[in-house]
Amino acid sequence: MSSPLPLAEPLGSGAGSLEDVNAGRLHYDKYCKLCHAAEGKGYAADNANALSNAEFLSTADDGFLYVAIDRGRPGTPMAAYGRPRGGPLAPKTIEQIIAYLRSLQTKPSVDVDSRRVAGDPVAGKSVYDESCASCHGQKGEGTTAISLNHPVFLGTASDGYLRYAIEHGRSGTAMPPFAGDLTPSQIDDVTRYLRSFARSQDALSGDAVAVGEVPPTFERIVINPEGPAPEFPPLRDGRYLAAETINDALLAGKRMVLLDARPTSDWLLSHIPGAIPVPYYAPDKIVDALPRDGTWIIAYCGCPHAASGRVMDTLRDRGFKNTAVLDEGVFHWMAKDYPLTFGAER
């Protein structure tokens, strides 16, 4: 008699023990599911790609995954989760998450990194503009799909990795296979063109900023504590307030609390002045310290609603009255040149 099917034998480079896989699943559910969805199916929020996708896992090796999780993709909703960046995860925890992802891998790993790609980036630009820009953005910044111009990504994705994704696509996602539609040399050309997106490598070489998450300090929670309460319009869908409304209220010296729902690593890079880091996976830490006198409490994230929405729901469950989510998210806030501060300063 055959034994019941064991958990899929990990196919990739980092075969973890069953214990690691199980621990990794719990960490995944706590930290990653919010955006990448249960079992890595992707697209619970934003452009968070399908981490369990067969072509992705068979070409992304453990080093690629580790760097992506540790350093994140600063400037996108993908935060740096590694402790050296001010994120919540120890190296061992990241390895367990990778072991869990490996357990979801259904195709054997392919060695893409040794493949040399010689193409013409100039010819590649016309291919890109015609066939790729609609989803990945004019400069690879990502519109409806993951970005392709991020230095952390380009610093870890080999030419062979890029070429494989373009040729084979990502089954079950919006990324079509281009084999057939494009000639092999056109695929080479567009692969070379993606390299020209490389901005700076700062994100790869940058110094670590902190070890572990910086605990929020509870001394100053309320912004403009002596100021009057803001008079906000009705919330959109009972939840959302426009960035402009919040900025106007702050400029007018109105009293409120701002919670940054992203991992502390993102808060350290830049945040709205006065905001306290309250990561979506650990909102409880702060709840007892928040004022219960009706002071407005507004959460924000980059997503723009997933992480902030979770923090706000926790507050509402605990009976807080005036709570809202910053509707457009912090990237819109930055694009508008509204006030920001950097580093551990509040």
- Could you list the residues that contact ligand HEC (CB under 6 A)? 31-32, 34-36, 42, 45-51, 53, 56, 65, 68-69, 73, 76-78, 81, 97, 131-132, 134-136, 142, 145-148, 150, 153, 162, 165-166, 170, 173-175, 178, 190, 303, 306-307
**How far, in Å, CA of 295 to CA of 85, rounded?**
32
Residue for token pair 């993606």:
194
Min separation Cβ 32 and ligand HEC, Å: 3
**How far, in Å, CA of 332 to CA of 240, rounded?**
14
**How far, in Å, CA of 28 to CA of 8, rounded?**
17
Q: Identify which of residues 174 and 204 has a Cβ nearer to ligand HEC in the complex.
A: 174
Which residues neighbour 329 within 8 Å (Cβ) at sequence distance 6 or greater? 300, 301, 302, 303, 304, 305, 308
**How far, in Å, CA of 259 to CA of 322, rounded?**
13
Q: Identify which of residues 73 and 83 has a Cβ nearer to ligand HEC in the complex.
A: 73
Min separation Cβ 255 and ligand HEC, Å: 29
Min separation Cβ 208 and ligand HEC, Å: 18
If 0-12 CB within 10 Å is exposed, 13-18 middle and 19+ buried, where does residue 239 land? middle
Min separation Cβ 301 and ligand HEC, Å: 7
Q: Identify which of residues 159 and 222 has a Cβ nearer to ligand HEC in the complex.
A: 159
Min separation Cβ 25 and ligand HEC, Å: 11
CB 76 within 8 A of CB 70: no
CB 178 within 8 A of CB 81: no
Q: Identify which of residues 105 and 147 has a Cβ nearer to ligand HEC in the complex.
A: 147
